[in-house]
Structure 1
């Protein structure tokens, strides 16, 4: 059963300019494993984190670092949640997230479907 759907789109150049202007933002938004990724990948992960929040109804108090997007070559991206994001998901009964991310032509995008197990 679908609990929620989230989508987000990020202008990569604008996002990179913001990261350059506010260097501490990189540490606030991304886990240590994510921080070294190329700019377009960071923008796509930011879009994914926004989409995750939207799929949960955008509850207040969630930490950006409590959601990580993992990519394995040849496999779908995976969402790992801990802490505040895991708690928000648990309140809604979310058992898994389905994620699609992309970046092309200066735009990064993500779509997330939050799903619970059938009762």
Structure 2
């Protein structure tokens, strides 16, 4: 396997939360429904959403940051083991296929008011 791209991004949690409050429809443009809620059905917290947003930005960077990709064509989810994963479709999948991406590696973190993510695209 070969690394096709690496992306990293950070998001200030409070600033991200302010954006969500100021523009209520923003959450629907950035996330699929399953990303907005915890497995328990409760609404996911701002820090967790900021980390998922950072992951989507990092994923775009790993793919060369082309225009035209839809935020909702990348879904960040967590396996039962607690390991974060990404599932791509539509515009994001098309770019990944064009580059030869076969698998993704993702890491999320949030602490001290900052959410961060690293994404590695492997082919």
Pick the TM interval, shorter chain.
over 0.9
How much does 1:76 deviate? 1.8
Partner of 1:19: 20
* Unaligned 5+ runs, structure 2: 38-43
How much does 1:73 deviate? 4.3
Partner of 1:110: 117
Partner of 1:84: 91
How much does 1:4 deviate? 0.5
In structure 2, distance between residues paired with 1:97 and 1:54: 13
In structure 2, distance between residues paired with 1:9 and 1:41: 12
Show CA shifts across 1:80-105 (max 9, x none). 00000000000000001100000111
Task: Provide TM-score, normalisation by structure 1.
Answer: 0.94
Matches within 5 A, 1:18-97: 18-36=19-37, 37-97=44-104
* Unaligned 5+ runs, structure 1: none
How many positions carry a matched residue from both structures?
116
In structure 2, distance between residues paired with 1:32 and 1:77: 17
Answer with 86-95 or 74-83: which moved more: 74-83
Task: Provide TM-score, normalisation by structure 2.
Answer: 0.91
